[in-house]
Amino acid sequence: MIKFDIITILPETFGSYFSESLIARALKKKIIKIKVHNLRKWAKDKHKTVDDRPFGGGLGMVMKVEPIYRAVKSLKGKSKAKRRIIMFTPRGKKFDQRLAYKLSKFDQLILICGRYEGVDERVAEHIADMELSIGDYVLMGGEIPAMVLIETVSRLIPGVISKEELLKERITKDKGFIEHVQYTRPEVFEPEKGVKWKVPKVLLSGNHKEIEKWRKKYLRVIEK
Ligand code: SAM
C-alpha cells in the first residue's frame, strides 16, 4: 500500500476532493492511504507561526524551515519505508507520467505544499529528495500540485482503476504515455440544422485491423 502524507497550512482544501470518485473508493478499499497534516501542529510558538520575512528583504513571506523539519521527521518516524520527500515549487523538475510511474513504486510519499512567496531554501537543500513542478506557471500554493500527483500516481496502483488493462493500453514500454482519439454515440451529432459532426467510418466498421491502423495514425505518444 502506498501512503501519501501531505504537509500543508490549508488542510481543508483537500476535504471533498478525497471523498469523491476513484480516490475515495481506493481509500475505502485500503489500496492507498492519504493523511493531510496541518503544518501548524509543528509550530512551537503560541501563534503557531509557520512563515517569516525574508532575509535580505523582498516582497511577501517565506515558510520557515523548523516546522517543516519537525513535520517530516515525525512523519518518517522510525520506519524504513521506501520513501520520497517531495517539495512543490514552480522551478522544480517537471512532473510527468514517467515520474508518476516511478513514484508509484514507493511506500510513502511525503508532500510539502508551499504557500506565501515560497519556502526557506534549506528545505530544498537538506530535507526534500526532489523539487517538483506541475507546469511553467505560478499557483498560490502546493495543494493543487499535491492533488495532481496523488491522482496520477494512485491511478497506477493495482486495484485503483477497475479496468487495469487500461493502464497497459495507455503506457508505453518505457513508461511514457499513449493517447489515441476516441468517440462515442451518437454516430452523427447535429449541433444545428444542416451541420453534421460524424464519427470516422472506420471506427464503425468492426474491422479491428483497420481500426488499429487508423488509431496508430492519430496516436499521441508522450515520451522524452
Ligand atoms: N516566488 C515563488 C517561486 O517562484 O517559487 C512562488 C511561490 S508560490 C506563490 C507558492 C507555492 O505554490 C510554492 O512554494 C509551491 O509550493 C506552489 N507552487 C506554485 N506554482 C507551482 C507549480 N507550478 N508547481 C508546483 N508547485 C507550485
113 lines ligand 1 (CB under 6 A): yes
Tell me what percent of the residues of the chain surpass a pLDDT of 90. Answer: 85
State the closest ligand 1 atom to the C-alpha of 91, by its place in the atom list counted from 1. Answer: 5
Mutation pick for ligand 1 pocket among 87, 88, 91 (CB with most ligand atoms within 8 Å): 88
Domain membership of residue 108 (yes or no) is yes
Total of domains in the chain? 2
pLDDT at residue 151 greater than cutoff 70: yes
Report pLDDT for 185: 97
In terms of residue numbers, what domain contains 211?
Answer: 180-222
Mean pLDDT score, 46-67: 97
Looking at the CA of residue 134, tell me the nearest atom of ligand 1.
24
Q: Are 204 and 167 in contact (CB under 8 A)?
A: no
- 31 & 99 share domain: yes
The answer to whether the beta carbons of residues 17 and 147 sit under 8 Å apart is yes
Residues 95 and 9 in one domain: yes
Contacts by 95-99, CB closer than 8 A, 24 or more apart: 95/132, 95/133, 95/134, 95/145, 95/148, 95/149, 95/152, 96/177, 96/222, 96/224, 97/152, 97/171, 97/175, 97/176, 97/177, 97/222, 98/174, 98/175, 98/176, 98/177, 98/223, 98/224, 99/132
Ligand 1 contacts CB of residue 11 (under 6 A): no
Using CA atoms, how far apart are residues 189 and 185, in angstroms rounded to an integer? 9
Q: 167 lies in a domain?
A: no
Predicted local distance difference test score (pLDDT) of residue 178? 81
What was the pLDDT predicted at 165? 79
Q: Are residue 43 and residue 142 in the same domain, yes or no?
A: yes
pLDDT tens for each residue of 77-122: 999 999 999 999 999 999 999 999 999 999 999 999 999 999 999 9
Q: Let me know: does 39 contact 64? Beta carbons within 8 Å.
A: no
Tell me how far the alpha carbon of residue 65 lies from the centroid of ligand 1, in angstroms.
16
This prediction's pTM: 0.93
* Domain at 14, CATH number: 3.40.1280.10
Ligand 1 atom nearest residue 112's Cα? 16
Cβ 67 under 6 angstroms from ligand 1: no
Comparing CA positions, the residue from 71, 100, 87, 69 lying closest to residue 128 is: 87
List, for residues 112-130, the tens digit of each pLDDT value: 999 999 999 999 999 999 9
Average pLDDT score, the chain: 94
Task: Please indicate whether residue 174 or residue 139 has the higher confidence score (pLDDT).
Answer: 139
Distance 141 CA to ligand 1 centre (A): 6
Q: State in Å: Cα 134 to ligand 1 middle.
A: 10
Percent of the chain with pLDDT over 70: 99
Same domain, 218 and 143: no
Is 174 a domain residue? no
Residues 186 and 144 occupy one common structural domain: no
Together in a domain, 137 and 86: yes
CA of 82 from ligand 1 middle (Å) equals 26
Do 49 and 110 lie in a common domain?
Answer: yes
Same domain, 67 and 149: yes
Give yes or no: residues 148 and 214 share one domain: no
Closest CA to 26 of 140, 141, 155, 123: 155
Q: Are 82 and 147 in contact (CB under 8 A)?
A: no
